[in-house]
Amino acid sequence: MNLAPLMVAGLLIFAVQAQSAVVVRDGHSDYCIVIPDKPGPEIKYAAAELQGLVAKSTGARLPIVKESENSTAPAFLLGPCCRSVQAGLIDQAAKLPEDGVLIKTLGRDIALLGQNGRGNLYSVYVFLEKYLGVRFLAIDCTIVPEIKTFALPPIDYSHAPPYMYRETLYWDSFPKEIAARQRLNGPFTKCDESVGGKIEFHPYVHSFQEIISKEEYFDSHPEYFGLQGGKRVAGGVHAQLCLTNPDVLKIAKEKVLKWIEENPNAPILDVSQNDGNGPCECDNCMAIVNEEGSQHGPIMRFVNEIADVVAEKYPDKWVETLAYAYSTKPPAITRPRDNVIIRLCHAGCYGHGFEDCGLGANFAEYIDQWSKLTKRIFIWHYAANFAHYIAPNPNLAGLVKDLKYYVSHGVNGVMVQSDYQSPGGELAELRQYLCAQLMWDPAQDPMKLRVEFCRGYYKEAAEDVLEYLRLLDNYAEKPDYHAFGAWDPTDKINRGLVSDSLLILSRARDAAGDDVLRNRIDKLMMPFWYMQFTRQERYGLRDEDAPKVLLRVKQTIAANKITHVREGGENIKEWIAGIDAQFSELPNNVVFDLMRIGKATTENCFAWEARFVERHGKTVRSVLQHPNPIGDAIATYRIELPKIDKGTLTMQFGTVITEKTTDGVRFSVEVDDKELWSQTKTSYTLQKSSNSAQDSILPDSDAFTDHKIDLTPYAGKTIQLKLKVNALKDNSYDWANWLEPEIVIEN
């Protein structure tokens, strides 16, 4: 045996020179897992994970012992064990950036440790991935190779993720069991001290309303709130604070210091604008905007004042603020303090990535500008269609491009927001894995990650799934394919993609060997069933096939506990009820039910969905037709009207706007390109609690109106009936609803 002398901290010790080590052969091992005599909770967790996964792979269950109980047996040394201390590894690990890991051979021992508690645990997961081939693909799938001989070469490895803050807002990324394994450390995870904790923020974002709430201050101090159009406006959406009011700054400083006292474990305090727009237009605020050339000017000066107070009392704390919506452009003069984090919110094309596409072209410029001004930039990255969680969203290539761009341009924290409210989102498992891996090590090959995920998660169906993903990639490369945030997928997805995808995925399902795998393929098919039921005529779903497909949809929803098809309150039941209504038997006097929205073809609709609206305490069916900003939103039905001998043929419906529209909408109905009826409506009724002190739920008489159109002259003809909604000048919150629209015979 070759011994080499080593002087560490004044002690002469002997270390075995590194050589290949056989850890397990044929289910037997001399190795144990050594932990400190007083291990932290994350060390205990790490030891159990290492023990369990090595046993599953090799059949050998390595004993876990405290270092005072271990003498000569070769060992995995977890965390700050004495042998690692003597070799100087603790100091090396401590110098790594946040969450870094260090794995090193010490003779026959293997030291696994990290820069902090999380790093100690992460070192185990990185070791298992790199040297045992374990893959933590999803919460329901960990790949552990079965091997007879587990041999290790000499190891001298260290790595620290360039993104110190890593978060994916996918429903299945929250449990600590998967979040820790995928090295996600954001506040939405359930990571407690047993897995090394997480990076906590308080509050999360949009905290102006928590600093100065309308309930506490608006009546007595309306001047604390932003001026819009000559009026003070309060609330959590489209309403901001007056940031040049000295009392607002005084209250904010006191509030943030109180937050720190109440939340001592949160290293980051958030002081950021409310959701939406609505910056203050008072003379003092606008003077700063004009001087800085940016709406972020008043925000930056306000936040810096608070950051100075925090730095004086709590030098280890950070203050975060958003660069979002109206405030993404950096100020020209004021720089963030050293303890300020800028969280820049993503704006760019999903399909092509923001760097390669004119949609959101300023975003790359803003990243570069902010990176020259501040030490830390976090990105809030959007990855889902928030109006249609389940619809096809071909953004895999764009997503990985963006993640790689961020790390090469000074970004050091990313949160990817997707379908955070429900399991079952479109490609959620694959996107979560890709994001987690690339946030940990952006140098990895995304296509290699994709292949290993599919071969592990979809097994014998993997090649068909990979073919399907290539189809999505090719579709997203189309020059005219652009998408961001929330959109009507029927404007983006053509019939060919739906039919081709279903054909490939049906083949994948046939190849699946068990119910678990068939269910995973069904989740891949859900987006295309969703499209078929959203526009039945356009995507070729025949009436005779619909009940069978609908049964598959309901089974997939139940099996995967899907609760949301879009952002907001739980809405899967509403969506299913809308589909059921399309196939229910009509009453004798009803000729055609326009609630059968799948029978319509649409253009220029931001949203076209079956909904339910509360009216006079009663729930009524509605079709939501939310227009795009420019032009008419149009839904066209081809309807065969019967001949009638007596009575009248009547279209009956109501209209209502169910959010705080800016300037109203124009409703109209055309038959064969002739306008038969129109109405411009500005009143609205809120279907949820108001966010503004000026708002109130308007009486039904102001918001709801009922209408009839005589279609008797068209009896016996086949007509093209169009429902149109125009946004006028601004489509913000133009939630235009057609209530119970149907054509009936009246005697």
Strands (E), 475-604: 590-593, 601-603
The pair of three-digit structure tokens given for residue 726, joined into one six-digit string: 């125009």
Highest mean pLDDT: which range of 82-91, 121-130, 541-550 = 121-130
Q: DSSP H helical segments within 608-743, as ranges?
A: 700-703
> What is the per-residue pLDDT for 698?
59
Both structure tokens of 694: 């000026």
Mean pLDDT over residues 730-738, rounded?
93
Q: What is the mean pLDDT of residues 541-546?
A: 91
The CA distance from 357 to 344, in Å, is 19
pLDDT in tens, 677-728: 999 999 999 876 433 333 445 556 679 999 999 999 999 999 999 999 999 9
Residue 303 CB: number of other CB atoms within 10 A? 27
The CA distance from 155 to 132, in Å, is 13
Contact 470, 396 (CB under 8 A): no
Higher pLDDT, 312 or 538: 312
Q: In this structure, what are the phi and psi dihedrals at residue 343, rounded to the nearest 5 degrees?
A: -105, 100
Judged against a pLDDT cut of 70, whether residue 7 lies above it is answered with: no
User: Does the pLDDT at position 320 exceed 60?
Assistant: yes
In angstroms, what is the C-alpha Rg of the chain?
A: 30
| Cα distance between residue 400 and residue 451, in whole Å | 14
**Least confident stretch, 10-24, 264-278, 380-394:** 10-24
Taking the mean position of all CA atoms in its chain, how far away is CA 624?
24
Pairing relationship of beta strands 268-270 and 201-202 according to DSSP bridges: parallel
Q: Which two tokens stand for residue 356?
A: 């390669």
DSSP 225: B
- Residue 667: other Cβ atoms inside 10 A: 23
Closest by CA position to 433, among listed 464, 458, 467, 460:
458
Beta bridge mates, 11? 8
Q: What is the dihedral of CA 598, 603, 604, 607, to 10 degrees?
A: 0
Task: Read off the pLDDT of each residue in 515-533 and give the average, rounded to a whole number.
Answer: 97
Full set of structural domains in the chain with CATH: 3-160 (3.30.379.10), 200-314 (no CATH), 586-746 (2.60.120.200)
Cβ atoms 271, 255 nearer than 8 A: no
Q: What is the mean pLDDT of residues 274-278?
A: 93
Burial of residue 447, with CB atoms counted within 10 A of its CB: 0-12 exposed, 13-18 middle, 19 or more buried = middle
- Between CA 384 and CA 350 the distance in angstroms is 9
The predicted structure's pLDDT at residue 495 = 96
| 273-295 as b/e: b if 16+ CB within 10 A | bbbbbbbbbbeebbebbeebebb
- Whether the predicted pLDDT of 91 surpasses 90: yes
Specify the range with the lowest mean pLDDT, choosing from 193-197, 396-400, 597-601, 690-694. Answer: 690-694
Pairing of strands 156-159, 101-106: antiparallel
Q: What is the pLDDT of residues 213-238, one digit of tens each?
A: 999 999 999 999 999 999 999 999 89
pLDDT at position 584 is 81
pLDDT of residue 14: 33
Residue 91 in contact with residue 115, Cβ under 8 Å? no
For the segment 561-618, what is each residue's pLDDT rounded down to a tens digit?
Answer: 999 999 988 899 989 988 887 788 888 899 999 998 888 989 999 889 888 898 888 8
Provide the residue type at 475 as one letter.
Answer: Y
- What tokens appear for 186 in the block? 């954001």
Look at residue 268 and give its three-state secondary structure.
strand
| 3-state secondary structure (DSSP) of residue 52 | helix
Band (pLDDT 50/70/90 cuts) for residue 1 is: very low
Percentage of residues in the chain having pLDDT higher than 70: 96
Judge whether residue 251 has pLDDT over 50. Answer: yes
Beta bridge partners of 625: 608, 736
Q: Is the pLDDT of residue 19 over 80?
A: no
Tell me which residue of 232, 176, 214 sits closest to 42, measured CA to CA. Answer: 176
Strand stretches in 466-604, DSSP E: 590-593, 601-603
pLDDT at 289 over 80: yes
Hey, how many other C-beta atoms are within 10 angstroms of the C-beta on 562?
22
In this prediction, residues 499-507 reach a mean pLDDT of: 98
Is pLDDT above 90 for 106? yes
Calculate ∠ Cα 180-182-186, nearest 5°. Answer: 65
Q: Sorting pLDDT into bands at 50, 70 and 90, what band is 272?
A: very high
What mean pLDDT comes out for the span 342-371?
90
Tokens of residue 162, six digits? 């360039």
Q: How far apart are CA 399 and CA 349, in angstroms?
A: 9
pLDDT-based confidence at 195, cuts 50/70/90? very high
CA angle 653, 656, 658 (to 5 degrees): 140
**What confidence score (pLDDT) does residue 319 get?**
98
pTM: 0.87
Q: What is the pLDDT of residues 436-474, one digit of tens each?
A: 999 999 999 999 999 999 999 999 999 999 999 999 999
Q: Is 27 helix (H, G, I), strand (E, B) or coil?
A: coil
Tokens for 240?
Answer: 């901001």
Q: Which residues contact 708 (CB under 8 A, 6 or more apart)?
A: 650, 651, 652
28 touches 60 (CB < 8 A): yes
Query: Which of 66, 95, 84 has its CA nearest to residue 8?
Result: 84
- Percentages (nearest 5) of helix, strand, coil residues in the chain: 35, 25, 40
Alpha-carbon gap, residue 294 to 300, rounded angstroms:
10
Q: What is the pLDDT of residue 688?
A: 60
pLDDT of residue 141: 98
CA angle 386, 420, 351 (to 5 degrees): 45
Alpha helices in 187-316, H assignment, sequence order: 208-211, 214-217, 246-262, 283-292, 296-313
H or E element at residue 456: helix 446-457
Tell me the C-alpha distance between 483 and 347, whole Å.
Answer: 10
d(C-alpha 91, C-alpha 607), whole Å: 57
Output the DSSP codes for 123-184: HHHHHHHHHH--EEEETTEEE----SEEEE---EEEE--S-SEEEEE-GGG-SHHHHHHTT-
